Chain A
Amino acid sequence: MLKRKITRGEFLKTGFLGALAFLALPLLRIFNNRSNVSQKDARYYKNLAG
């Protein structure tokens, strides 16, 4: 069990970082220049027999 009380400052700081990560993930996807072919698609488009 957590003995110490979380201060208001700590609470806001953690919340702020969490929100930042939440927003940053989709932004990373937008700026990522990899193609949108899934790994599975990429595999079958590359390794077809014949």
Chain B
Amino acid sequence: MSKVKCLLCPRGCELGSGDRGDCLARMNVGGKLQTLVYGKPCAVHVDPIEKKPLFHYLPSSSSFSIATAGCNLHCMYCQNWEISQREPENTRNIDLQPQEVVNQAIAAKCRTIAYTYSDPVIFFEYAADTGRLAHKNNLLNVWVTAGYINPGPLKEAVSFVDAANIDLKGITEKFYETVPKGTLKPVLDTIVTMKREGVWVELTNLVVPTYNDTKEDFLRLCDWIVENVGVEVPLHFSRFWPMYQLKNLPPTPEETLTLARDIAISKGIHYTYVGNVPGHKGNNTYCPMCKNIVIARRGYMILEYNIVEDKCKFCNHTIPGKWQ
């Protein structure tokens, strides 16, 4: 029987009959490419939207969060490897069709549905149907993604994705080859496309000791952001915790994250955060004009809120984001 080629992500798997894609979630069944995870999430939670992390999008609202098994990247440090690096038959799944996801999100008083934990790219059909249904029911869609997707499906995705946190895991092809086992270029293209098409974009860089934690790495990453998407895109430097195949490394030292944040600020990036370190000054949002704290946070918790409509309460400067 002839091979089929999956056009969803840059891996472009060519699958013989019965073969499974690199993401473990798609298969050639009798000459037809099929998703194995439609309506079968293995994780369903109600999370604060700050956990995604999205800091400029409906703050302190709840997000109905779903994920299926599988992933098209294979990060050595994956924090969710128990679901992302497993076949769907080896996770505990529940049957939750798109209409039911929407019903449960409404019942849980969520304003958004987040497609997260693994990567919505690999459960594209499920995320697309759910996303369109969500719009009909006044819910918004949030993608938490590595952005490893082809331009065709991405064009379709931007029609129903409202906000995204995109992982910019590193800034060299070498890093992408070694750690996530992918390529950098498609990720950069996704970030630019989503921003251009009006999706609210925030970026996350997980800082891994010895892999992407040098001053040069941070300088390059910030330069790329400033040149290609501008200084208003929020950037989260997140602390790595020893996991999966990188248990031998220590957690990211706080000083490294502070250095990364300082470099981003020196490059003019207005909203730079430090994640997974509760109590760090980088948990807060500062007004770039008057430097006052406009949102004080501890981890995901909001302690103080000084934005009126979309403006800093102290100096009236507009803070980009969706606040209501």
Contacts and interface: CB of A to CB of B under 8 A. Distances in A.
Contact of B92 (A41, A48, A50): A41
Nearest to B51: A50
Interface string A19-50: 00000000000000000010011001100111
Contact of B80 (A37, A40, A41, A50): A50
B188 interface: no
A30 to B, nearest CB: 21
Nearest to A46: B45
B92 A49 contact: no
Contacts of A50: 51-52, 79-80, 116-117, 144, 165
B157 interface: no
- The DSSP consensus for interface residues of chain B is mixed
A49 B117 contact: yes
Interface in B172-190: none
B83 A48 contact: yes
Interface residues of B, number: 14
Contacts of A40: 82
B213 to A, nearest CB: 19
B46 interface: no
Interface residues on A, range: under 10
Contacts of B43: 45, 48
Contacts, number: 27
Contacts of B45: 45, 48
Interface string B24-52: 00000000000000000001010000011
Most-contacted residue by chain B among A37, A41, A45 (CB, 10 A): A45
Nearest to A44: B82
Contacts of A41: 92
Interface string B132-170: 000000000000100000000000000000000100000
A39 B256 CA distance: 34
Interface string B232-244: 0000000000000
A49 B79 contact: yes
A49 B80 CA distance: 6
B203 interface: no
B67 interface: yes
B66 to A, nearest CB: 11
A44 B67 CA distance: 12
27 contacts: A37-B92, A40-B82, A41-B92, A44-B80, A44-B82, A44-B83, A45-B43, A45-B45, A45-B92, A48-B43, A48-B45, A48-B67, A48-B79, A48-B80, A48-B83, A48-B117, A49-B79, A49-B80, A49-B117, A50-B51, A50-B52, A50-B79, A50-B80, A50-B116, A50-B117, A50-B144, A50-B165
Interface of B: 43, 45, 51-52, 67, 79-80, 82-83, 92, 116-117, 144, 165
Given A45-B43, A48-B117, A49-B80, 17 more contacts: A37-B92, A40-B82, A41-B92, A44-B80, A44-B82, A44-B83, A45-B45, A45-B92, A48-B43, A48-B79, A48-B83, A49-B79, A49-B117, A50-B51, A50-B79, A50-B117, A50-B165
Q: Which 3 pairs from chain A and chain B are nearest by CB?
A: A49-B79, A44-B82, A48-B117
